Amino acid sequence: MTFDYDLFVLGAGSGGLAASKRAASYGAKVAIAEQDLVGGTCVIRGCVPKKLMVYASHFSHFYQDAVGYGWSPVEATFDWSKLVQAVDGEVRRLSRLHISFLEKNNVELFHGQARLVDDHTVAVDDRTFTAEKILIAVGGEATKPQIPGIEHAITSREVFLLPLQPKRLAVVGGGYIGTEFAGVFNGLGTEVFQVVRRGLILRGFDEDLREEVQTGMVKKGVNVLSDTTIEKIEKVPEGVRLVLKGAKDNSLVVDTVLYATGRSPNLEGLGLETAGVETAKGAIVVNEWSQTSQPHIFALGDCTDKVNLTPVAVAEGRAFADTQFGNKPHHISYENIATAVFSQPEACTVGMTEIAANAQYGEDGVKVYRTRFRPMIYALPNVDEKILMKLVVHKETDRVLGAQMVGKDAAEIIQCVAIAVTMGATKKDFDATMALHPTSAEEFVTLP
Count Cβ neighbours within 10 Å for each residue of 65-94 and write b for 16 or more, e otherwise.
beeeeeeeeeeeeeebeebbeebeeebeeb
439 pLDDT higher than 90 = yes
pLDDT of residue 1: 78
**pLDDT > 70 fraction of the chain, expressed in percent and rounded:** 100
248 pLDDT higher than 90 = no
Catalytic residues: 437
The pLDDT confidence band at residue 118, using thresholds 50, 70 and 90, is very high
The pLDDT confidence band at residue 249, using thresholds 50, 70 and 90, is confident
425 pLDDT higher than 80 = yes
Contacts of residue 253, Cβ cutoff 8 Å, sequence gap at least 6: 168, 236, 238, 239, 240, 241, 242
Which segments of 197-277 are extended strands (E)?
223-225, 228-236, 239-246, 251-254, 256-259, 263-265
Domains of the chain: 5-142+264-325 (3.50.50.60), 150-261 (3.50.50.60), 345-445 (3.30.390.30)
* Residue range 421-448: mean pLDDT, rounded: 97
390 pLDDT higher than 80 = yes
378 pLDDT higher than 80 = yes
Tens of pLDDT, residue by residue over 6-61, are 999 999 999 999 999 999 999 999 999 999 999 999 999 999 999 999 999 999 88
How far apart, in Å, are the Cα atoms of 422 and each of 156, 312, 354, 370, 418? 32, 15, 17, 20, 6
Contacts of residue 158, Cβ cutoff 8 Å, sequence gap at least 6: none
Tens of pLDDT, residue by residue over 134-193, are 999 999 999 999 999 999 999 999 999 999 999 999 999 999 999 999 999 999 999 999
Q: Distance between CA 60 and CA 316 in Å, rounded?
A: 39
* Residue range 416-423: mean pLDDT, rounded: 98
